[in-house]
Amino acid sequence: SRRVVSGPPPRPDLPAPRSLLAMTNYGAWDKKAEALCKEADEDDEQEKQKNDEALGLQDGPQGPPTQNAMKQREEMGVHSDKRADFIAKQEAKEVVLEHSAAAEPIIVSATECGDKAVRLRGSVDVTYQFPKDLSLIKLYVEKCKNVKIQLGCFIKTSFVEINHSSDVEVRIDNIVSTLQCDECSEGPVRIIFLEPEGVGTFFHQNCPSLEVLLPGQAEPVRFGRAGEQQLCSRPDSNSGFSTEAVVRGEKDFPVNLGSSKPTGSATEPEAEKPPTSEERRAQAEVKRAEGNEAFRASDFLQAAVYYTEAIGYCEDLHLAWANRAQCFLKTGQPEKALEDATRCTELAPDYAKGWFRKGMALHALERYGKAIPAFCEAEKLDPKNPQIPDAIKMAQLKCRTKGPGDMS
């Protein structure tokens, strides 16, 4: 049998044991300790974030290339915001009208279009009336067919543009100093001036059926012509128009208007000579210079547009190909950058930047094995450039850690 041994009976003159008064709540102490540790960890993390921000390391350790790229991205964001604001303001000042098969004339009201630029876009078989009490900024006629326009209103800029339209008739009962007509090759474009003082200057390109009817004349004057050359036609002293080819210089500003004799009569302008290769190269250099200005302002998209225009003038201008490749690298388009840089190396094999940008494009495409030879070729041509050895080392490192990539 089991014997139970009991202690002495409690004495009433002594205090009860501690375990009988209250048990220690170890669970509560654990929760308290855990909360204190969590709070300490959060304080440490906040302190670390403050230190990283002070050192510019909030996104992790970064070398100069990454820092420069982030700075340029921020600058591009600012430019993009400014461009978006500009476009929004311009759109707020414009009204687009589009109608088709209207039996009655459409009267353009000041409530809808007053003090705005009006674009008639894609209208077919319509007559528009712009009354005298209306004031516009500009008038554009785009991609319209069989449209008649009665223009009696005041245009602040005194400017009307017609493009990619056919069978258009504009009756002008006010002063329009400049009319531009481009790519209207499918049908006639007739401008009728109701007042002699309202006759302005025409800039036109590839509009073979452009004709103008002056006050007091029974037959219109035809001076339009097909072709890529832009022409300028102005009223002369013989109730006709004199026409000359437009030559543009820096900033696309016409440099010959008013300084040379017209190329021919109003009815049969003399066929202009195509620009020489030297002239086209000069025009290309002007566009490339504009691209350089846009690039320096971190407006890489606009710079690419200018470089594209330069290439259009002179396809063997290797600098434009190299410059556009750099724009594509800046805007995250390495495939296009590789195409342009490759073309640059074909045109100018001794141009180091062409090879360097080819290497950068291949590196961005993770084709490190192909990037190294391109960088090495650039180093041969420009051995004093400190960027090239760094690029070679980086490509070699990537080759070892990630592999050479596509070697085709």
Tell me the average pLDDT across 317-323: 94
pLDDT the model gives residue 80: 62
Task: Mention every residue, 6+ apart, whose C-beta is less than 8 A from residue 305.
Answer: 291
d(CA 386, CA 397): 18
Q: Which of 367, 342, 336 lies closest to 355 in space, CA to CA?
A: 342
Tell me which of 90-94, 161-165, 220-224, 290-294 is least confident. Answer: 90-94
pLDDT of 16 > 60? The answer is no
In this structure, the number of other CB atoms found within 10 A of the CB of residue 252 comes to: 11
Q: What is the pLDDT of residues 171-207, one digit of tens each?
A: 998 878 889 999 999 889 999 988 776 777 898 999 9
Q: What is the pLDDT of residues 205-245, one digit of tens each?
A: 999 999 998 877 888 889 889 988 888 888 876 777 888 88
d(CA 73, CA 232): 43
Tell me the average pLDDT across 395-408: 87
Cα-to-chain-centroid distance, residue 29: 64
pLDDT the model gives residue 326: 94
pLDDT the model gives residue 269: 46
pLDDT the model gives residue 245: 86
User: What is the edge-to-edge ordering of all strands in the sheet holding 241-245?
Assistant: 94-97, 117-121, 139-142, 159-163, 178-182, 201-205, 231-235, 241-245
pLDDT the model gives residue 40: 72
d(CA 376, CA 188): 60
Task: Mention every residue, 6+ apart, whose C-beta is less than 8 A from residue 171.
Answer: 148, 149, 150, 151, 192, 194
Reported confidence tier of residue 318, pLDDT bands at 50, 70, 90: very high
Report the b/e string of 47-85 with b at 16+ CB within 10 A. eeeeeeeeeeeeeeeeeeeeeeeeeeeeebeebeeeeee
Tell me the average pLDDT across 375-398: 92
pLDDT the model gives residue 259: 41
- pTM of structure: 0.45
Tell me the average pLDDT across 127-146: 93
d(CA 147, CA 99): 10
Residues in the chain: 408
Higher pLDDT, 323 or 13: 323
- Computed over every residue of the chain, the mean pLDDT equals 81
- The secondary structure of 275-316 as a DSSP string is PPHHHHHHHHHHHHHHHHHHHHTT-HHHHHHHHHHHHHH-TT
pLDDT of 373 > 60? The answer is yes
d(CA 173, CA 319): 50
pLDDT the model gives residue 338: 95
Tell me the average pLDDT across 307-335: 93
Within 183-289, strands assigned E span: 189-193, 201-205, 210-213, 221-222, 231-235, 241-245
pLDDT the model gives residue 263: 40
d(CA 127, CA 101): 9
Tell me the average pLDDT across 97-109: 94
Tell me the average pLDDT across 334-351: 94
Q: What is the pLDDT of residues 245-285, one digit of tens each?
A: 877 655 455 555 544 344 444 444 444 455 567 778 888 88
pLDDT the model gives residue 267: 42
